[in-house]
Amino acid sequence: DSGVTQTPKHLITATGQRVTLRCSPRSGDLSVYWYQQSLDQGLQFLIQYYNGEERAKGNILERFSAQQFPDLHSELNLSSLELGDSALYFCASSHRQGSTDTQYFGPGTRLTVL
Amino acid sequence: AQSVTQLDSHVSVSEGTPVLLRCNYSSSYSPSLFWYVQHPNKGLQLLLKYTSAATLVKGINGFEAEFKKSETSFHLTKPSAHMSDAAEYFCVVSDLGGQNFVFGPGTRLSVLP
């Protein structure tokens, strides 16, 4: 158990809908990262927050957005969902944001778009 | 820009034989390198990491990796495979303050009885 929690575990929805994925980092960790894992794209970095501020953006679509709240939990919002958004979404946390910092991963949220 | 190449998409070994999972990286700066393991339907677990200290890094479950700057490699090894080692393994490179955490495509390890 990494100490990172993600809810829900599974999510099934329809095209065009909007969903919110939630992540609680390990106690004391200030950085939160979001990743998407799909069969064709592999593991892709989406976005990083550090202590409430956006710090880095990866391959995140404009239909997707995220935020980190004062209590350091984070939410990833996915809107106008398409079939291709079906994937496993991971959240990870680290204490700081340095290159040597280990990222600890949550169990993931499996999103299925029908 | 960083990149990671995992030379084998699938490696199959017999239980009790050595494991070698290959990783080559490209980085403009002094990188940090990680190996993560993902068991089926599970999250990713850190096996080990290199952060410019000793070039031979020991991790959990008997795994180790050696950083070779001249070869830009960070291969993962284990002397004797167990059935429980069957999983997907990801090599990761990180630099520029950790804002770029780039995953390799993964290597699926199968362990045969």
- Cα B6 to its chain centre, rounded Å, is 9
Q: Is B64 helix (H, G, I), strand (E, B) or coil?
A: strand
Residues from chain A contacting residue B96 (CB–CB below 8 Å): 99
d(CA A13, CA A85): 11
Instruction: Report, as an integer, the average pLDDT of B80-88.
Output: 96
Q: How confident is the model at residue B96 (pLDDT cuts 50, 70, 90)?
A: low
Partner-chain residue, chosen from B36, B95, B105, that has the shortest CB–CB distance to A99: B95
On the question of pLDDT at A99 being above 70, the answer is: no
Q: How many angstroms separate the CA atoms of B93 and B70, rounded?
A: 16
Query: CA B101: distance to chain centroid?
Result: 14
Residue type, A65: S
In terms of pLDDT, which residue wins out, B95 or B69?
B69
The band of B42, judged by pLDDT with boundaries at 50, 70 and 90, is confident
Identify the pLDDT of residue B99. Answer: 57
Tens digit of each residue's pLDDT (9 = 90 or more) over A22-48:
999 999 999 999 999 998 888 888 999
Which residues between 30 and 89 in chain A have a beta carbon less than 8 angstroms from any beta carbon of chain B? 31, 33, 35, 42-45, 48, 55-56
Q: Please classify residue B59 by burial: count the beta carbons closer than 10 Å to its beta carbon, then call 0-12 exposed, 13-18 middle and 19+ buried.
A: middle
Distance (Å, rounded) from C-alpha B34 to C-alpha A102?
8
What's the mean per-residue pLDDT of chain B? Answer: 90
Average pLDDT over residues B22-43: 88
A86-96 pLDDT, tens digit each: 999 999 999 87
Q: Which of A100, A101, A104, A105 to mutate to test the interface with B (most CBs of B within 10 A)?
A: A100
